[in-house]
């Protein structure tokens, strides 16, 4: 007689099969990375260290960078002077897994190891005065590169975090085809800035001129140079990019974008206990839920939640399931919640509450 299987046993079996499949995907990705790295090294690709803008307090600094292998042609076609830079070129470079990386900042020197995606993202214990500093980074065989690091004063009380997609640029990201088009095909010249947001953010930073300004996005590190050029070209305030790495992990087919944002916000709350954050996002994805969750867990670390409302057309293009409907989120009583479709309407409300 065949053994009967109850629903719980069936679900457990399904979960085990799914977990094994994900692990297989993760291992295959790692094999592909190793193959690409060996092939790039064999054809003489050049080690390149990319240093990203960082931030810190008077007691620590967050250093961000990536070690890559690039062909000479790719380096020439994607340098800062290139007039037309397609997004797909950013994905043809090969990360150097577990690359040794040297870091220098003022009188400090550190010897670090990148992760499997070539990314360096670490908090270093240093004592630095507030203001701008320069961090230098180098991997084996690369030139030394530098990036700005902004040190936040211990008495600073306001900080600003902004999403990117559909907040500072119109992308309709949730639709896979449009997301791929924006990431791999368009260059920064063709991307559309959100009306009035650059002016609003510039005024906000002018009002809080010593505030840390951070861009928190689920975008891949590969597109960081393109995003930086877009932000600069459209007069957005300078600030560190907090991006992620795509691909399978040991327990997921793809990295969870919401978890990436939640983790970074919690890191900010812990590293800057004196700062209240103005969180800027949009209602096209999960920013309202992520920010409201932060408000519930860290009510003393929140100055305001600012949500840019997608237009009905943008919401439809984005595949937003609540297009035209009121979104219900729970926040602690007294939380300042501001919504508007563009920077001008948001600016007026921020000014009314003394934040602009």
Helix, strand, or coil (residue 342): coil
DSSP symbol at 328: -
Give me the pLDDT at residue 273, please: 96
Residue range 247-301, pLDDT digits in tens = 544 444 445 678 999 999 999 999 999 999 999 999 887 899 999 999 999 999 9
CATH number assigned to the domain covering 158-352: 3.40.50.1000
Q: Judge contact between 322 and 290, C-beta under 8 A.
A: no
For residue 332, CA distances in Å to 151, 197, 287 come to: 31, 27, 16
Residue range 82-128, pLDDT digits in tens = 444 555 455 668 899 999 999 999 999 999 999 988 999 999 999 99
Give me the pLDDT at residue 12, please: 54
**Cα–Cα dist 95/170, whole Å:** 29
User: If you search the block for the tokens 């368009």, which residue do you land on?
Assistant: 186
Q: Judge contact between 215 and 241, C-beta under 8 A.
A: yes
Residue 223: CA count within 13 A, CB half-sphere:
27
Which helix (H) or strand (E) segment holds residue 132: the answer is: strand 131-139
Give me the pLDDT at residue 310, please: 87
Residues 6+ apart with CB under 8 A from 214: 55, 159, 160, 161, 162, 239, 240, 242, 268
**Cα–Cα dist 356/354, whole Å:** 6
For residue 328, CA distances in Å to 280, 324, 336, 353 come to: 18, 13, 15, 23
Could you tell me the pTM of the whole model? 0.83
Q: Which of 146, 137, 145 is nearest to 110 (CA)?
A: 137
Give me the pLDDT at residue 277, please: 98
User: Which residue stretches of the chain have pLDDT < 50?
Assistant: 1-5, 7, 10-11, 14, 17-18, 21-22, 80-84, 88, 248-254, 323-324
Give me the pLDDT at residue 71, please: 81
Give me the pLDDT at residue 14, please: 42
Q: Say which CATH architecture domain 46-151 belongs to.
A: Sandwich (2.60)
């Amino acid at each position: 007689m065949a053994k009967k299987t109850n629903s719980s046993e069936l679900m457990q079996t399904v979960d085990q099969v799914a977990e094994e499949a994900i692990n297989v995907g993760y291992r295959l990705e790692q094999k592909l990375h190793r193959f690409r790295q060996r092939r790039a090294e064999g054809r003489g690709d050049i080690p390149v260290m990319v240093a990203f803008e960082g931030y810190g307090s008077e007691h620590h600094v967050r250093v961000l960078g990536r070690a890559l292998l690039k062909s000479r042609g790719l380096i020439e076609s994607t340098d800062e002077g290139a007039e037309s830079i397609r997004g797909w070129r950013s994905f043809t470079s090969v990360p150097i897994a577990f690359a040794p990386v040297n870091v220098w900042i003022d009188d400090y020197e550190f010897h670090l190891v990148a992760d499997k995606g070539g990314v360096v993202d670490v908090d270093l214990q240093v004592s630095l005065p507030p203001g701008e500093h320069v961090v230098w980074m180098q991997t084996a065989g690369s030139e030394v590169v530098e990036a700005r690091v902004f040190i936040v004063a211990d008495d600073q009380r306001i900080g600003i975090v902004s999403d990117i997609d559909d907040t500072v640029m119109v992308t309709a990201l949730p639709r896979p085809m449009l997301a791929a088009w924006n990431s791999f095909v368009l260059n920064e010249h063709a991307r559309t800035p959100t009306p009035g947001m650059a002016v609003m953010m510039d005024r906000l930073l002018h009002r809080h001129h010593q505030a840390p300004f951070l861009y928190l996005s689920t975008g891949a590190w590969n597109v960081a140079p393109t995003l930086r050029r877009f932000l600069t070209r459209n007069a957005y305030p300078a600030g560190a990019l907090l991006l992620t790495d795509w691909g399978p992990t040991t327990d997921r087919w793809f990295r969870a974008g919401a978890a990436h944002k939640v983790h970074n916000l919690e890191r900010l709350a812990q590293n800057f206990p004196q700062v209240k954050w103005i969180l800027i996002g949009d209602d096209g994805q999960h920013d309202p839920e992520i920010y409201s969750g932060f408000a519930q867990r860290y009510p003393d670390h929140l100055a305001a939640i600012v949500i840019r409302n997608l237009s009905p057309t943008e919401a439809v293009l984005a595949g937003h399931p609540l297009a035209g409907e009121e979104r219900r989120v729970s926040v602690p009583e007294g939380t300042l919640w501001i919504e508007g479709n563009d920077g001008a309407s948001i600016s007026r409300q921020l000014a009314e509450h003394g934040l602009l």
